Amino acid sequence: MEFDRDEAIGKAIAVFADHGYEGSSTAELLARMGIGRQSLYGAFGDKKRLFLQALERYNAGSLAQTEAALAVEDSPRAAIEAALLAFAVGPDVTPEAGCLGVGSIAEFGRSDPDVNAINDAAGRRFKAAFAARLADGVAAGQFAPDLDPEAGAEFLLTVRAGLKVAARDGAGLDRLRSAARLALRGLDV
């Protein structure tokens, strides 16, 4: 049976984001993806390889969304706020659905080298993107002159993860925006 591989991975992302790796049964994955067991094994190898492909794709999409938000605003501060909230803004956004990246870290910790490699690579890119905009903000006088952009980027990644968890718990955009702005004040002059 022919199927759209990209569409199937997109549906797998939704299942894994909702239930985690262990909580996602093969039967539910097959039903949501609209494929048979043989197609799963033939196209993806097994549930673990499907999860890793889904995580890579999710992280790539999340990174693209964040980098786009960082590039839109002229003000580094506004760009960083937009990037922190990018996952919760837009017509097709469902932030309460959960973040596959944060979920995978919560589920696996540092126990799985394959998951670590995917998340570590994404983390380096997220950190570099935030650090670059923080450096711009320091140069523009929007943040403390002695702010270390690398340390600030680590802080923002922690804030971003917390915002995603809060959204999963039902926090609306106003509450998320308020938390993001409070965090940004911690970087002020």
Give, in words, the CATH class of 55-185. mainly alpha
H helices of 1-99, where? Answer: 5-23, 26-33, 37-44, 47-72, 76-85
Least Cα distance to 160 among 115, 114, 129, 121 occurs for: 129
Q: What are phi and psi of 148, to 5 degrees?
A: -85, 110
* pLDDT for res 90: 74
* pLDDT for res 89: 87
* pLDDT for res 152: 98
Residue given tokens 């932030």 in the structure block = 95
* pLDDT for res 1: 54
* pLDDT for res 97: 73
* pLDDT for res 95: 66
Domain boundary assignment for the chain: 55-185
* Sequence-ordered list of residues with C-beta below 8 angstroms from that of 49, at least 6 positions apart, any chain: none
* Sequence-ordered list of residues with C-beta below 8 angstroms from that of 38, at least 6 positions apart, any chain: none
Q: What is the mean pLDDT of each run of 10 residues along the chain (189 residues)?
A: 87 95 96 93 94 97 95 94 92 75 96 98 98 97 97 98 94 96 92
**DSSP conformation class of 87:** G
* pLDDT for res 189: 66
* pLDDT for res 23: 96
* pLDDT for res 94: 72
